[in-house]
Amino acid sequence: MTGPEDVREFLSSRRARLTPDAAGLPVFGGHRRVPGLRREEVAMLAGVSVDYYNRLERGILAGVSDSVLEAVAGALHLDDAEREHLHDLAKIANSSPVARRPRKSADAIRPSIQRLLNSITEAPAIIRNNYFDYVAANAMGRALYAPVFAEPAPNSARFAFLNPAAQDFYRDWDRVVAELVATMRGEAGRNPYDKRLSGLVGELSTQSDVFRTLWGSHDVRYHRSGVKLMHHPVVGDLDLVYEALDLPADPGLTLSTYTAEPGTPSEDGLKVLASWAATQDAALGSSGSFERSER
């Protein structure tokens, strides 16, 4: 998923969005043929020759130093996620074929992680892998994402783009899917030779015009914290603050928790959700463990 074409499109798309005025460059009269900065303007801001920058924008990052990458990132006003993505692209270009192996990702969790999830009783908590599969959840997490867990293989990306219910479940669906694709783009930059991840991207590209358009924008972002605006089929509207934490001992796994601001209708909604979750577990005779755990 990562090659000269992706490098070229990433750099050119970042250049196109930055105006001379935003970059601090003087703007003179006359028609500009490009929507953003010219290549020579980026080269000047980065302190490299025009020929050298043209080489970078052709997708040739082999041998490029970190200092040059930082200079280009500064010239293009890249944020932290975009800056890391640029470095990831360069790492792949400078790696040997032997080193270009997919990063392993877990499809199961350790028992201690399941105990941690089960100990979180007042907030929904889920764990996903870097293929965007939901591999674990506590009782409230399963209840919150009931429409996703109703699918045979719960996957946040497939649900968001291929299940019509997603547009009702996420009240700000347009923003959710844009952020999701930007997170996937960053994951692809870190792990471009993973056939399972590229297969997911290919599947969504062929089945969703929206995904294909968003993927082509080359936007990149971190998925660390924010607000989810949901319409739960049982509880109704919920405005929840999420925190996403990587699990260092389990590469590829991310723990996300969801809480409501005190004294809000969403806090009351989570209490209703907890009661509903308890009745669902009781009805199913659940032990509180949907998850595929490593034993």
Domain-wise residue ranges, the chain: 4-99, 111-284
At residue 293, does pLDDT exceed 60?
no
At residue 98, does pLDDT exceed 70?
no
d(C-alpha 22, C-alpha 37), whole Å: 10
99 or 27: which leads in pLDDT: 27
pLDDT at 288: 40
pLDDT digits (tens, 9 = 90+) for 163-205: 999 999 999 999 999 999 999 999 998 888 889 999 999 999 9
pLDDT grade, residue 91 (50/70/90)?
Answer: confident
Q: What percent of the chain has pLDDT over 70?
A: 89
72 or 287: which leads in pLDDT: 72
CA angle 237, 241, 244 (to 5 degrees): 130
280 or 82: which leads in pLDDT: 82
Whether 256 contacts 103, CB under 8 Å? no
DSSP 103: P
CATH no. for 111-284 = 3.30.450.180
Q: Do domains 4-99 and 111-284 have the same CATH topology?
A: no
pLDDT at 37: 92
pLDDT grade, residue 105 (50/70/90)?
Answer: low
pLDDT grade, residue 21 (50/70/90)?
Answer: confident
pLDDT at 96: 54
pTM for the predicted model, two decimal places = 0.85
pLDDT digits (tens, 9 = 90+) for 220-264: 998 889 999 999 999 999 999 999 999 988 988 999 999 999 999
Whether 258 contacts 122, CB under 8 Å? no
Nearest to 118 by CA among 136, 135, 138: 138
For 179, how many CA atoms within 13 A lie in the half-sphere containing its CB? 14
pLDDT at 43: 95
28 or 130: which leads in pLDDT: 130
User: 12-16, 19-23, 201-205: lowest mean pLDDT where?
Assistant: 19-23
d(C-alpha 126, C-alpha 118), whole Å: 10
d(C-alpha 123, C-alpha 139), whole Å: 9
> Could you tell me how far CA 120 lies from the centroid of its own chain?
24
Query: Mean pLDDT, to the nearest integer, of 10-15?
Result: 94
- Mean pLDDT across the chain, nearest whole number? 88
Evaluate whether the domain defined by 4-99 bears CATH number 3.30.460.20.
Answer: no
pLDDT grade, residue 273 (50/70/90)?
Answer: very high
